[in-house]
């Protein structure tokens, strides 16, 4: 139920954004939508929210990755604050270099997103749920399956 709800909500939001954008700008809609806004407080707020979104997404992905790297290559929880900072900062610099040094990075991200986005968002969560149940020796309940 939550998957149906969330995907309906996301598709509606993206659809409304696309329709409104093309209604007002036609084919002149920029790839980065905030670039199409007039300079002023609204554009500043939108760009700050986008920056906040990118920061939160980076932190959500960076924390488990840094924890895994610390466990694998360092002493885990016994890692000094300096080493933790060096690891996190080097990951930040590496990500920045990757995005800015590869000339076709935008196109590469678009292709990867088109090929992997739907399977990751729609396919993997139920698959993980199925294997988690299987590992515990439980079967999937009838309310979880779509036998129609």
Condensed to tens digits (0 to 9), the pLDDT of residues 62-116 reads: 888 888 888 888 876 677 888 888 888 999 899 888 888 888 877 888 888 888 8
Kindly provide the residue ranges of all beta strands, DSSP E only, lying in 69-134, ordered along the sequence.
none
The answer to whether residue 119 scores a pLDDT higher than 70 is yes
Q: In the prediction, which pLDDT does 144 show? A: 64
The answer on pLDDT for 148 being more than 70 is no
**Rounded-to-integer distance, Cα 131 and Cα 148, Å:** 22
**Quick check: 101 and 92 in contact, CB under 8 A?**
no
User: Taking a C-beta distance cutoff of 8 angstroms, is the pair 67, 60 a contact?
Assistant: no
* Tens of pLDDT, residues 26-62: 888 787 778 888 899 999 999 999 999 989 988 888 8
How far does CA 131 lie from the centroid of its chain?
Answer: 23
Taking a C-beta distance cutoff of 8 angstroms, is the pair 74, 87 a contact? yes
pTM for this one?
0.56
- Strand, coil or helix: 82: helix
């Amino acid at each position: 139920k939550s998957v149906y709800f969330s995907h309906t909500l996301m598709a509606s939001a993206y659809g409304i954004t696309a329709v409104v954008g093309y209604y007002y700008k036609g084919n002149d809609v920029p790839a980065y939508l905030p670039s199409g806004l007039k300079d002023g407080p609204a554009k500043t707020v939108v760009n700050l929210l986008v920056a906040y979104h990118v920061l939160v997404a980076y932190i959500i992905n960076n924390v488990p990755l840094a924890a895994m790297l610390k466990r694998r290559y360092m002493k885990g929880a016994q890692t000094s604050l300096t080493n933790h900072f060096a690891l996190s900062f080097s990951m930040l610099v590496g990500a920045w270099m990757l995005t800015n040094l590869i000339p076709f990075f935008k196109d590469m991200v678009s292709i990867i997103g088109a090929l992997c986005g739907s399977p990751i968002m729609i396919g993997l969560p139920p698959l993980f749920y199925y294997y988690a149940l299987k590992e515990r020796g439980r079967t999937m309940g009838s309310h979880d399956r779509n036998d129609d």
